[in-house]
Amino acid sequence: MCGGEAVLLHGDLHGANVLIDEGKVSGIIDFGDSLSGPPEYDLALLYNHLESKEAWSCFVEGYGKDFNEKKMQLYIFMFGTWLVSIDSIKPGGTRLDNYLQCLHNLS
């Protein structure tokens, strides 16, 4: 990592690893991919898994911390390029739409 804040990252943050009880987050599981790095790394992973912009807006509101959106977009680009390279994104899927939107935002 080149400078910046290093935090504990989950490394595989998505809905299946977040436990919800009565509409509230009650826990996070599966830290097998955890590592240290910039918070934007985990945020980019999560962004790629969310189903809507509304879900992202809710998350950002609850996150309660500033983050570098451009850095997060670069991680989204990196993850998207990797996913495309292994052909795990199917045309018309939410991930592909999110990835293409981030590419547009980067330009």
Output the tens digit of pLDDT for each of the chain's 107 residues.
Answer: 456 778 999 999 888 888 888 878 888 899 999 999 999 999 888 887 777 778 888 888 878 788 898 899 889 888 888 877 766 666 666 667 777 777 777 66
Q: Which residues contact 50 (CB under 8 A, 6 or more apart)?
A: 56, 59, 94, 98
Token code pair at residue 9:
């990252």
Token look-up 């290093």 returns 6
Q: Give CA angle at 96 (43, 4), nearest 5°.
A: 25
Q: Which residues contact 36 (CB under 8 A, 6 or more apart)?
A: 1, 6, 7, 8, 9
Q: Rounded to an integer, what distance in angstroms lies between the CA atom of residue 32 and that of residue 7?
A: 16
| Segment (H or E) for 95 | helix 94-106
| pLDDT score for 93 | 66
